[in-house]
Chains A and B, each alone.
Chain A
């Protein structure tokens, strides 16, 4: 287990390093960041001054290592637009996004795991068909459009929920549903196939044959084994969700990191964009690292390979 952990940790570190290089390199996709920063009315002298002030005149690799060194110490530079530290800015916005992410993944799991189990118990039944219908719908609904339709019907026609802001828990209901429904189909399908597979194994037949009550067989014997891959999928989905929250947060004006991403992208605030890509990626890397460890711990075959 220790060997596996170390190996996995080395991989995570290497991935993080590569991601940091890519998110740094994004800045250089624009012809010259100094021109972008200075704005349209700047003179050549202004641009040159900015170039020297921010060190854009140095070789790219030197700039990268300089940036990386400071990023490792938690300093992601200064935002061009907000004129404050990027790390402080992200730190301030992250709790809202985390709250949304946790609510959404909880909603997704609560919706999809019971449905997946019910569908697997009776394949081709009405429940199975409803589950299939919900998952096919979920995959085809564009989340931004789903969000707008919810606003039109729940907030405006029925006046049930607030449309924008993040003041009360009611503000989180619609974003949670939109983001959670987006992640639900994959989790439900995996739960269903996992359960179907486990339910057809010999040890389940044995458990049934020796007269155990159906709920015990179902939950203690079957679900426990079927849920292992679902745990890692849920972790992955949680990571994707934080990245995907940008659309949902923008629509509901939820002032989290996703909204910050949209604000900084539309304002050409490159250090903030860089910082956000880095933070979101690192979060995903850490998340999958722990998910893999949990999996290896639950299933010894993984760590021996």
Chain B
């Protein structure tokens, strides 16, 4: 950390820019994520068909690369005759919404807890560390499944449940980074001139831990997206007819032995999105704080 604080005076905006553009992982990841975000935003313009429109006469048409496929349904149709490409495009919205929403909620909880614990120490730290330990002891998938089953599955419920469950890593990392910053001279100086605690937290601590916060937020976003897909796959997440990618895999599962593309296509989309977000998160960490790998 001490070397970081002396270097910042010489780092210019241009050199930060080249550090990001020079990092292969970040560039590939950012490109894919940007593409998927654009697809999600422009879904109504891009989707060739209505993702909910059923057509029982055009069921299970294979994708265009299959000899039985046609350009009318580029990625084929599902068991209800709904256009697979359109469902895939609208599904991006669900995954991104889950990722952002869950990371926002858990980030808020985890950051408040972690920064408080790191800054105040003592009893506050004891309570927060205890809560983190309790949270880690509870199996995430099992608790999430149980809660969704009891409360009832919907997009909002899944976002809330995942948000309330995934704050642990935020709290752990924010706590340790705040602990490091708290012992810096500039924090002692701010305390000495009588700055309020709120001011110190907002202007001295937060700007210096925000890099780590961004890294954890991206990784937890990916985590939430994978968990949503798993919950929806098990039938206890986002409910039909919403085109969640996990749900699409689940619906195609019964026919996967004959029509493998039914599960391959949404699975690849899910894999690509999670991979890209992780590449971005890992890359940002490599660039801003290479000492924090792992």
Residues of A bordering B, CB below 8 Å = 11, 14-16, 18-19, 22-23, 26, 29-30, 136-137, 139-145, 148-149, 151-152, 156, 189-190, 193, 236, 240, 242-244, 246-247, 250, 261-262, 265-266, 268, 270, 273, 276-277, 280-281, 284-285, 288
- 29 CB < 8 A contacts A-B: A11-B133, A19-B134, A23-B138, A26-B143, A29-B151, A137-B275, A139-B222, A140-B275, A140-B278, A143-B230, A144-B229, A145-B249, A145-B267, A148-B253, A148-B263, A149-B264, A149-B267, A151-B256, A152-B256, A190-B294, A243-B140, A246-B139, A247-B233, A265-B149, A265-B236, A266-B235, A273-B146, A276-B142, A280-B142
Q: Smallest CB-CB separation from B227: which chain A residue?
A: A142
Q: Smallest CB-CB separation from B233: which chain A residue?
A: A144
B68 on interface, CB distance cutoff 8 Å: no
Residues of B bordering A, CB below 8 Å = 130, 133-134, 136-143, 145-147, 149-151, 222, 226, 229-230, 233-236, 246, 249, 253, 256-257, 260, 263-264, 267, 270-271, 274-275, 278-279, 282, 293-294
Leading 9 A-B pairs by shortest Cβ distance:
A243-B139, A140-B275, A145-B267, A140-B274, A30-B150, A281-B137, A280-B139, A265-B149, A29-B150
- In the complex, A144 Cα to B263 Cα: how many Å? 11
CB-CB under 8 A for A145 and B234, given A26-B147, A140-B278, A265-B145: no
Contact B249 A246 (CB under 8 A): no
CB distance from B238 to the nearest CB of A (A): 14
- Partner of B137 from A15, A142, A144 at Cβ < 8 Å: A15
- In the complex, A148 Cα to B236 Cα: how many Å? 18
CB distance from B226 to the nearest CB of A (A): 5
CB-CB under 8 A for A136 and B149, given A152-B260, A240-B139, A277-B142: no
Contact A142 B271 (CB under 8 A): yes
CB distance from A149 to the nearest CB of B (A): 7
Contact A142 B229 (CB under 8 A): yes
Contact B256 A148 (CB under 8 A): yes
**Chain B positions within 8 Å of A141 at CB level:** 271
CB-CB under 8 A for A139 and B278, given A156-B257, A193-B294, A285-B137: yes
Q: Smallest CB-CB separation from A163: which chain B residue?
A: B257
Contact A281 B147 (CB under 8 A): no
Q: Is the interface of B mostly helix, strand, loop or mixed?
A: helix
CB distance from A19 to the nearest CB of B (A): 5
Contact B134 A18 (CB under 8 A): yes
**Chain A positions within 8 Å of B136 at CB level:** 236, 284, 288
Contact A152 B257 (CB under 8 A): yes
**Chain A positions within 8 Å of B253 at CB level:** 148
Contact A268 B249 (CB under 8 A): no
- In the complex, A141 Cα to B274 Cα: how many Å? 8
Contact B293 A145 (CB under 8 A): no
- In the complex, A11 Cα to B249 Cα: how many Å? 42
Q: Smallest CB-CB separation from B263: which chain A residue?
A: A148
Contact A142 B274 (CB under 8 A): yes
- In the complex, A144 Cα to B139 Cα: how many Å? 17
**Chain B positions within 8 Å of A139 at CB level:** 222, 274, 278
Contact A284 B137 (CB under 8 A): yes
CB distance from B193 to the nearest CB of A (A): 33
Q: Smallest CB-CB separation from B272: which chain A residue?
A: A140
CB distance from B120 to the nearest CB of A (A): 19
Q: Smallest CB-CB separation from B236: which chain A residue?
A: A265
CB distance from B218 to the nearest CB of A (A): 12
**Chain B positions within 8 Å of A261 at CB level:** 142, 145
Contact A281 B150 (CB under 8 A): no
Q: Smallest CB-CB separation from B277: which chain A residue?
A: A140
CB distance from A32 to the nearest CB of B (A): 11
Contact B138 A22 (CB under 8 A): yes
CB distance from A132 to the nearest CB of B (A): 10
CB distance from A147 to the nearest CB of B (A): 10
Q: Smallest CB-CB separation from A196: which chain B residue?
A: B293
Q: A26-B146, A277-B146 are in contact. List 7 more A-B contacts (CB 8 A).
A: A19-B138, A29-B150, A141-B271, A142-B229, A149-B264, A193-B294, A277-B139
Contact B141 A246 (CB under 8 A): yes
Interface centre among A22, A189, A236 (most CB of B within 10 A): A22
CB-CB under 8 A for A148 and B278, given A30-B150, A277-B146: no
- In the complex, A281 Cα to B147 Cα: how many Å? 16
Contact B230 A247 (CB under 8 A): yes
**Chain A positions within 8 Å of B293 at CB level:** 189, 193
**Chain A positions within 8 Å of B137 at CB level:** 15-16, 19, 281, 284-285, 288
- Partner of A268 from B149, B274, B282 at Cβ < 8 Å: B149
- In the complex, A268 Cα to B256 Cα: how many Å? 29
Q: Smallest CB-CB separation from B293: which chain A residue?
A: A193
- In the complex, A193 Cα to B290 Cα: how many Å? 12
Contact B134 A243 (CB under 8 A): no
- In the complex, A273 Cα to B146 Cα: how many Å? 7
CB distance from B141 to the nearest CB of A (A): 5
